[in-house]
Structures are given as C-alpha cells and as structure tokens.
Structure 1
Amino acid sequence: MSERILEMNSITKTFPGVKALDDVNLDVRKGEIHALIGENGAGKSTLMKVLSGVHPYGTYEGDILFQDNRCEFKNINQSEELGIVIIHQELALIPELSIAENIFLGNEQATKGVINWNKTIIETRALLKKVRLNVDPEEKIKNLGVGQQQLVEIAKALSKKVKLLILDEPTAALNEEDSENLLQLLKEFREQGMTSILISHKLKELLKVSDSITVLRDGQTIRTYRRTEEEVTESMIIKEMVGRDLTELFPDRVYNVKDKVVFEVKDWSAYHPLDVERQILHNVNLHVKEGEIIGIAGLMGAGRTELAMSLFGKSYGKKITGTIIKNGKEVSFKTVDQAIKNGVAYVSENRKEFGLILIDDVKNNLTLANLDRISKHNVLNTSKEVVEAENMKQRMNVKTPSIQQKVVNLSGGNQQKVVLGKWIFTDPDVLILDEPTRGIDVGAKFEIYKIINDLAEKGKSIIMISSELPELVGMCDRIYTLCEGEITGDIAAKDATQETLMTYMTQKGRS
C-alpha cells in the first residue's frame, strides 16, 4: 500500500484572469482510494484534467510522475494508454448506441477494419459482470437509469486496462442505493489492487471508503490525511475546505411565516408525455404560505421533478388536470411564460442543460428570464442591463472576475448562484427549487441556504425539492413526502426525522 503510483509536484495552471492551481502537490499510493475534496473552484477537476491530458503538457507548470516515470501527456489518449482513465461528472455516453458500442467506441474489437461483433458482445458481458450490471450488452444507453449508466462508464474504463481510475462526483446524481453499490464496487476494486481517485462533496461517503484524503482550497494543497495514521472527522475536513469552522451546517433564520396561503395545488394529476396511459402524478394536494419554506421528499422516480415541471407552465406531462390557486384566485399556466408573468419561477435540478447558456456570459444569463425589466418598447437598455447584472452578481456573491465571464468557466457553486439569481431577477412570489445544492460543496451550500432564508424572510414562498433529507429537515418549515406520484405525508419539520420521512416516502396511501 505504501508504494506510490502517482506524484504531481508543484502543479500551477492559469486561465485568463484566474490562477486555478497554485503549486499543488498530490501523492497517491498504489491500491488505495484517494479522496480529493475542496469547495467548488478549489481546483479539483482542473488538477485531474492536467493529469489526464485534457490540459496538455506545456499549458501548466510542474511535473507528473506515474509509476516513477515522468509524463508529458499531450492529450487524453496518451494518459489512457498508460492506464489513467477519468470518468467525468457529465457522463460521456451516446444514448442511441448500445452498451457494447459505447464501451468499445474508439477501441473497436476489429480485424483489418472489420468489427468482430461476437467478440465485442462477449467482452462486454465480461466487463458488465465485473461491475455487477446484469443487462443485455445490446440494450441502448437511453433505456438505462443514471446509476446503470455510471456502471457502464466504469466498465468502459475497465476495457482500457485501467490502473488509476478517476471518478469526478460519481454519486452526485445517484440515489442512496445506487451510490452504495458504486462505493462497494470501488472497495472491491481496491481489494483487487486498483487505485482510485474519488472527487466528491459527500463527506460521509468519502469517510466510508477512502484511505487518504487531500484537501484543496483556492487552488492550493492544504493537507493530506492518511486514514491509517490519524482519526479524521467531517468537521476537520470542513474546516480545512473553507478555512473556518462551520459550527452549524444550516444558517440561522428569521422566521416570517404568515397565515396567508400564497400558492395551493388541488387534485393535481399528470401522465407521462410519451406514454399517455401511464399516470405519473395522482391527485397531489399541497400549499405554501407567505414566507414559508416547504420541502418535497421522495425517492428517485417518486415524481418530484415531474410535479415541479408540470406546475411550471405545464412543461412536463400530458392530460394534466387539477387546480392551482394563487393568492386566493384560481390561475392557469399553460406556458412557462405565463407562469413567470404570474410570479412563479422554477430552478431546474439540471443547471447545465436547462438552467444556463454555458457559452454565454454571466450578465446575459442573469437577465435572460426577465428582459422586460431592462427593456423599453422592446429595445434593450444595455446600460441598465449591466447595472442590474452587477447588482445581482453582488447580491448572489458570484465569484467571477467580471459579468462578461463565460458561465462555462465558473465553478459549479457559482453556476448555481447564477441560475438562482436569474430566477430571483423575475421577482417571483413562489420559487420552486429542484435540488438547489446538488453537486456543490458545503461552503457554497451554506451561501445558497442563506439566500433561500433571505427570500423567505422577505415574504417569498419557497418549494424545495431535495434528495438530502438532512437538508430538508434543516431548511424547511414543513415537508411533504411523495411516493409513486402520491402525497403520503405532510410533516412539520420539528417532528421530522430521516427515519420518519423515509417511512412515508416508501409507503403509498399513508396520508
């Protein structure tokens, strides 16, 4: 275990206006699970892109030694040839191709240019068996769940004779069961002698499986813990990550909940947009008061996102029925535009696909959802746009050199702040937040929580969907539980425990 497989010495990487890595050192031992942790923007993903050749030799300073050999990777193919394989947070699979085709894409089992499909299928079956995925190799990727797709990515890595497996936020989009299965798989790989680098914000997971933990902060190496040599706790890691103690994971809140019901949903039902015989939501009833934060808890597939999107201008589902009452009056949102104009906003769980225009700048992303506010007679007032965007940037504490910065260059936490700021810019009465802290670190989470609390204090009504039950208990006034498209519980946060919520989340017909 003590033999080094990887050394990264004095790695410095600069982007225009930003020093992403500043003299970073990383020492990974053979056959261990080495956790890499830090706030969004700390440099974790950048460091791994340097290692894998995504940022080629010559674009950074410092040295990489892999198995005692100095490496100067010009591209990702060169690193993969040595057995260094990275699985990014955004899975790189082609939905319309089969599992077998995806696994061997670019590494085809061919003789004289002719693919041997029989060999491809046999090899795929063997790889799927290694990752404990019992599916047909010819099944299309689009028919698999996110957890299964993650296992396909790992099988693809194994096909490249991987020696060092890098996983960037592998459980960010997985439910608890799929996350546990993946972590168990990594432990099995460790027993077989494989080395893994695991990037994650989920501290409990890291403490469960890691042998070593390296903390980055502001592009610098802060500390490496060797678990066999010292006791490590969550609070120790958090302090190193953020440079301060976070004695409470959730900020104090000034309660300003009024008796007035701002938003009420009655007997809300919806069917699948492609399979109109399949009912997804069944007579959902809920309400939220002025200044109140309500939570929606449910397992994967319970219908949480489907409920949010169907309420937001019927952007999901067919044969939607039911009633929405806002400020005591029945309203109808047939389009997203109508929902926005009626004071309802929705922050999607998938910020990169549905929340942001990544190739556009911060300014345009912040103002896009409410151009009327910065226009007159359909003519954009660019001076006012700059002022409003700067104000929102300051309000949301978005860390960026300029509002002209492309959003794609921001960290995940700052991207999330931009999405939230974009919808706050519409000045909604009701804000639906779908996984508002997914994939961001504890420091950025704390900032998002403060923004949410501030909105509630100002009288906004918040509907918060989260897979993290402690987050719902820590942030909400009441929590609705959803199971297979039905509301099964309405629980005051003071009475809610993770065990209670899970009981309601797994049993239909309790309400």
Structure 2
Amino acid sequence: MDSDVAPLVEMIGISKSFGGARAVADVDFSVRAGEVHALLGENGAGKSTLMKVLSGQVAADRGTIRLGGESARLAAPADARRAGIAMIHQELDLVPALTVAENVFLGREPRTRWGTVDRRRMLRETRRLLARTGVSFEPRLPVEALRTGEQQLVTIVKALSLDARVLIMDEPTSALSAPEVERLFEVIGELRRGGAGIVYISHRMEEIGRIADRATVLRNGSVVAEFAARSMTAAQASEAMVGRPVQLMFRARDKAGAGAAGELLRLEDFAVLPRRARPGRRDPAGVALRVAKGEIVGLAGLLGSGRTELLETLYGVGTPGPWQGRVLLRGEPVRPRGPRHALRLGIAFVPEDRRIDGLVLEHSVLANTVLSVVDRIARLGVVSRRKERGAARASTTRLGVKLASLHAPVGSLSGGNQQKVVLGRGLLTEPDLLLLDEPTRGVDVGAKAEIYRLLGEIAARGTGVLLASSEPAELVGVCDRVVVLHEGRTMREVDTAAVSEADLLAAAMGEGTVQDLVVGGAG
C-alpha cells in the first residue's frame, strides 16, 4: 500500500461526548483506496461512535472530515450515502416483516416508467448480489424467517448494493460460519481491487492479520497504537486494547477428569416433527449427545446446521411440534414447556441475538439482570428492592460490566457489556445446565478472557455447559468434546484433546479427516 496516495477519507481531531462522558477524543483516522484499515478496541472504546460520525449518524463536537482532500459536512446518513460511505452495523438494522429484497432496497426501490416499484428488477438485483456473496436463499423470504447468520449476510448484501467507495464493516463475521467468512473475504478482495476503501472492525485477531493493511487501536476514546496489520501479533493488539498483558489461552482449567461427577444431559436420536413448515429453521432431526456435570460440550456446524434450534428447543422456546427420541436430564425424561419451566428444571439459556431475544433494551440494567430471578427475591409477590439491587450489583461486578448506573437503559451499553448482562442473568439462576449460543459474539478480547474464566469456574462447580460457536478456536480451546451437527443431525463427536482447529472445521464441512471420532455421540 503506497503511503503517499491521498486518502479517500480523513478524520482529523474528531471528538465526541455524550452527557459529559467522553466517547472519542481528538482521533485521527484515514482510509486509502484499495486498503483495509482495521479499527480495534475493547467494547466501549469508541469504535462505533467514531464510525457513526463518519457515516453521518452522529455529529462530532469537534474535528474535520475530508473526502478526497476536500472538507465535507456529513450531517445525516443520507449525506454519507451520497458521498459514497456505507456502514454494515454489528447490530442488525433490518425490518423483520419485509422480504430480503425489500430490506436490501429499502428507501431506494427501483421504479418503473409509471413510478411504481419495479419488483422484478429488485428481485433480479437482489439475486445477483446474493450470488456474489455465495448465498442461495430466496429473496422473497421475509427476513424474520432467517437465522441470525443469514440476516447478517442480508446486511452485507444491502451495503454492497450501495456501491460505496468507503465501506465500514462492524463485526461482519460475528454470526457467520467459516465458509461464509471465506466468501466474504473474497468479496472484500474484489472491492479492494475495484479501489474501495474498507474500515474493518473485528475482535477476531486472526482475521485482521489475513485481510487488513493497517490497524489502529482505540482505548478509552483515544488512539493508543497503530500497527502494520500483517506483522502485528494478537498479543500486541490485545495488550494495546486492554492496557495490560492479556492471557489469550482458552484453557482456564484442567480438563483432565472433566465430567467425572456423572451424566447430566443425554439426547438419544432426538428429533422434532414441526406441525408446519418453518422457512429458515433447521429443527433437530436426529441428535445424539451427552453432557456430564462439570463438562463443557461444544456444538459445531455450518450455518443452518441446527445448533441454535437445538438449544432453543431444549429451553422450551416456541412450540415446534412433537418430539421423538429421548431427552434425559439427571436420568429423568424431560420436556421444558417454556423458559419459566426450563429455569425450574435448572436450565438457563444465553441466546445468540442479545438485542432481540435476550434483553428489553429500554429497561434498566438492573431490571434486565434480575429478570430470571424475580421469584427468588420476592416475598408474597412483592420484590425486595434491596435484594434486587444486591443481586444486580453482584452480577455486574462479577462480570466486569462497564456502566454508569444500574438504572441506565441496558440499550445504552456497548454490545459486549450487553452480552455480559445476559450471561450474568443466566448465572444468577445457578443452573445445573447452561446453554450458550455464540456467547462471545461481538465481544472484545478482554471480555472473552473473562467469559472463558467464568466458564471454567462454573464447570469446576459442577455445572454442565452446552456451547454453540462458529469459532473453531473457541470450541477446541474451551470445550472438552465437540458434537458436529449437519442438517439437524449429529454427524460426529470430537475429543478436543486430540484434534486441531483445522480438523474441527473439516468435520463441520463433512470431510472425513478427523481422527478419534465417536459417531453418534452417545458414548
């Protein structure tokens, strides 16, 4: 990358505060044509605020933005779009009831000569963009019928449809499996060759080294380091982000003997027979697995393998239809009738999409934290405010949630801190079985280390954990065993002490290269 090339966009001395709290302070940042510039930092470091300034969603208190060397005023998102700047948000900004095509062209619908919406052209263009990103689902499908990872792909397609000169990607791979990530990287390569500049925000260090040219690290709203991305180590970046050395190893406990305390959960040829077709869902169709007390078992599989649906079914979410096979908890047949019943059985669940399924965003951190334990802190139907505050304070302190007040809306927290609130709420129930769906999605390296440490602690106390993740490194590093799902069925069981990340990915893709496999997983 030629450093003498004039940047497509320059941000000079950008500062922004909210209610007296500094979000970014005197930040310089630039992107050149054909460059991927990574922006790193912990949750709450100021990355999203800086990019919201660039995309016209937030006005800076001070500073200058230059486009092609000329000063620009981006007072609204429409100004940024006209200037060729588009942003893929970490939190999905789609309208669930509209179709894929309608979401992609929302507010920019192509018109016929008579002024009506040209639906044929809209569908044709959407299919072309979906094919470009390696996606095959039907553009007429309502977005609400898609899983989170598929919805993430729709947001990427929507941004690509803008043909932007500067594309901001905020955690674009957080809900994608390995093949979808690889296809996205191919698209990024095409955009670079076409002269686009890309701002890439990610907590996945291995991605930065692969695709980025430069990396800028923010901490507490200020630039603290800049690296040549391909020579930057994960340890260097993590220490700059957190301000101290970070233990990046996953293994926070001795796995030897994990699960020796006895079996907790067993699924035998478990399947769900849906009462009606449910587009976008992959119900369990023959799952066999076991989780012992004090054991962490992973769920691997490509997008659409049924990981999320399995966890939701075990938690009693929705009424999918009759069950087949057996589900045994502590040796007894169970079928949770809903979340409240599951909690009484000792099952807690941290969902994949925290903003839609995990939190009531307009309610306080306190209310969201204690939501699952209200019955425990109430007497004769009256909630003890003292116990409520005590439980919420203990949970947020234990997980290191960064917040101004327990009474602040949970929606005002950064994504990683929101995730900690959801996890803390599940742990407050003191479950025997903890179901986790992408627990570190969009979470910074420091918060990941804390979550891994907590998982080690709760497993050491005898809690069984069933963890779905799209990150092979996480599954191999955290879990004792991994069950690989394909089209709702158990394909293989992998002992993580004997395989690598590449082996696990091969198993998830259906390649028979993994050694020491136990087919069926019932052991």
**TM-score (structure 1 length as normaliser):** 0.90
Q: Take 1:297 and 1:371, find their aligned partners in 2: how far apart are those partners? A: 34
Shift of 1:423: 1.0
Deviations 1:368-404 (A, max 9, x none): 0111111001111112211111111111211112111
Q: Is the 8 A contact 2:433 2:466 kept in 1?
A: yes
Cα deviation for residue 30 of structure 1 reads 2.7
Tell me which residue corresponds to 2:379: 376
CA 1:49–1:118: 2 relative to 1, 3 Å? closer
Please tell me whether the aligned partners of residues 34 and 198 of structure 1 are also in contact (alpha carbons under 8 angstroms). yes
Match of 1:243 in 2: 243
Is the contact made by 2:262 and 2:293 (CA closer than 8 Å) also made in structure 1? yes
Cross-structure match for 1:178: 180
Shift of 1:110: 4.5
2:261/2:294 contact within 8 Å kept: no
Tell me how far apart the structure 2 counterparts of residues 327 and 387 of structure 1 sit (CA, whole Å): 31
Relative to structure 1, the CA distance from residue 458 to residue 187 in structure 2 (aligned partners, 3 Å threshold; closer, same or farther) is same
> 1:136 offset after TM fit, Å?
9.7
Note if 1:205 corresponds to 2:211. Answer: no
The answer as to whether partners of 1:294 and 1:478 remain within 8 angstroms in 2 is yes
Counterpart pick for 2:351 among 324, 348, 353? 348
Cα gap change, 1:496/1:125 in structure 2, threshold over 3 Å: closer, same or farther?
closer
Q: Distance in 2 between matches of 1:329 and 1:103?
A: 48
- Greater shift after overlay, 142-151 or 360-369? 142-151
User: Given that residues 133 and 157 in structure 2 are in contact (C-alpha distance below 8 angstroms), is that contact kept between their aligned partners in structure 1?
Assistant: no
Alignment correspondent of 2:277: 275
C-alpha displacement at 1:451, in angstroms?
Answer: 1.0
Distance 1:283 1:126 in 2: 33
Task: State which drifts further: 441-450 or 208-217.
Answer: 208-217
1:4 match: secondary structure = coil
Residue correspondence of structure 1 range 45-124 to structure 2 within 5 A: 45-57=48-60, 60-98=61-99, 100-110=101-111, 114-115=115-116, 117=118, 120-121=121-122, 124=125
Amino acid aligned to 1:202: R
Alpha-carbon distance in structure 1 between the residues aligned to 2:99 and 2:158: 12
Alignment of 1:324-363 (within 5 A): 324-363=327-366
- The AA in structure 1 aligned to 2:360 is I
What is the CA distance between 1:284 and its match in structure 2?
Answer: 2.4
The alignment partner of 2:231 has SS state of coil
For 1:38, the equivalent position in structure 2 comes to: 41
Q: d(CA) in 2 for partners of 1:160 and 1:216?
A: 28
- SS state at 2:265 partner: strand
Q: What is the Cα-based RMSD across aligned positions, in Å?
A: 3.0
Separation in structure 2 between the aligned mates of residue 283 and residue 112 of structure 1, nearest angstrom:
53
Residue 20 (1) aligns with residue 23 (2)? yes
Q: Does 1:470 align with 2:473?
A: yes
Within 5 Å, give how 1:104-503 maps onto structure 2: 104-110=105-111, 114-115=115-116, 117=118, 120-121=121-122, 124=125, 128=129, 131=132, 139-140=140-141, 142=143, 153-154=155-156, 156-157=158-159, 159-226=161-228, 231-253=231-253, 257-272=259-274, 274-275=276-277, 280-313=283-316, 315=318, 317-503=320-506
Task: Tell me how far apart the structure 2 counterparts of residues 133 and 205 of structure 1 sit (CA, whole Å).
Answer: 19
Deviations 1:35-73 (A, max 9, x none): 11112111111100011111125xx22222222222332
Please report how far the alpha carbon of residue 292 of structure 1 lies from its aligned counterpart in structure 2 after TM superposition: 1.5
**CA distance in 1: counterparts of 2:213 and 2:125, whole angstroms:** 30
Q: Distance in 2 between matches of 1:139 and 1:173?
A: 22
Contact 2:283 2:306 in 1 (8 A): yes
Alignment partners' CA distance in 2, 1:462 and 1:148: 26
Give 2:129's aligned amino acid.
Answer: L
Contact 1:433 1:463 in 2 (8 A): yes
Does the 8 A contact of 2:282 with 2:306 survive in 1? no
Alpha-carbon separation, structure 2, partners of 1:435 and 1:119: 37
- 2:515 aligns to what? none
Question: How far has the Cα of 1:107 moved from its partner?
Answer: 2.9
Q: Is the 8 A contact 1:121 1:137 kept in 2?
A: no
CA distance 1:273–1:181, change in 2 (3 Å): farther
- Relative to structure 1, is the Cα distance of residues 21 and 140 closer, same or farther in structure 2, using a 3 angstrom cutoff? same
Residues 271 and 279, structure 1, Cα contact 8 Å, conserved in 2:
no
Q: 1:506 to 1:34 in 2, by over 3 A?
A: closer
The amino acid of 1:203's aligned partner reads: M
Greater mean alpha carbon deviation, residues 443-452 or residues 80-89: 80-89
Q: Is 186-195 or 65-74 further displaced after alignment?
A: 65-74
**Contact 1:124/1:137 (8 A) holds in 2:** no
Task: Measure the CA separation in 1 of the matches of 2:465 and 2:137.
Answer: 43
Structure 1: 5+ residue runs without aligned partners? none
CA distances 1:82-128 after superposition (whole Å, capped 9, x unpaired): 11111212333345545554444323444898236289449837963
- Partners of 1:158 and 1:283 in 2: how far apart? 38
Instruction: Indicate the SS of the match to 1:280.
Output: coil
When residues 489 and 131 of structure 1 are mapped into structure 2, their CA distance, relative to the original with a 3 A threshold, is closer
How has the CA–CA distance of structure 1 residues 119 and 50 changed in structure 2, closer, same or farther, with 3 Å as cutoff?
Answer: same
Q: Given that residues 11 and 21 in structure 1 are in contact (C-alpha distance below 8 angstroms), is that contact kept between their aligned partners in structure 2?
A: yes
Q: Distance in 1 between matches of 2:267 and 2:138?
A: 44
**How far apart, in 1, do the equivalents of 2:336 and 2:469 lie?**
24
Identity %: 37
Letter in 1 for 2:173: T
Separation in structure 2 between the aligned mates of residue 158 and residue 36 of structure 1, nearest angstrom: 20
Q: Structure 1 residues 388, 137: CA separation in 2 closer, same or farther (over 3 Å shift)? A: closer
How many residue pairs get matched? Answer: 507
Once the two structures are TM-superposed, the CA of residue 74 in structure 1 deviates from its matched residue by 1.9
1: CA distance, partners of 2:259 / 2:118: 63
Q: Secondary structure at 1:495's aligned position in 2? A: coil
Asked if structure 1 preserves the Cα contact closer than 8 Å seen for 2:297 and 2:467, the reply is: yes
| Contact 1:96/1:140 (8 A) holds in 2 | no
Q: In terms of mean alpha carbon deviation, does 288-297 or 324-333 score higher?
A: 324-333
CA contact (8 A) 2:314 2:335 kept: no
The one-letter amino acid of 2:90's match is Q
- How many angstroms does 1:17 deviate by? 5.6
Tell me: CA distance 1:61–1:316, structure 2 relative to 1, closer, same or farther (3 Å): farther
Specify whether residues 129 and 415 from structure 1 end up closer, same or farther in structure 2 by C-alpha distance, changes over 3 A only: closer
Distance between the aligned counterparts of 1:305 and 1:379, measured in 2? 35
> What is the identity, as a one-letter code, of the residue corresponding to 2:269?
D
Greater shift after overlay, 117-126 or 445-454? 117-126
Determine if contact 1:17/1:401 at 8 Å carries over to the other structure. Answer: no
Query: What CA distance in whole angstroms lies between the structure 1 residues aligned with 2:127 and 2:315?
Result: 45
Aligned counterparts of 2:47 and 2:19: Cα–Cα separation in 1: 18
Judged with a 3 Å threshold, the aligned counterparts in structure 2 of structure 1 residues 428 and 77 are, in CA distance, closer, same or farther, namely same
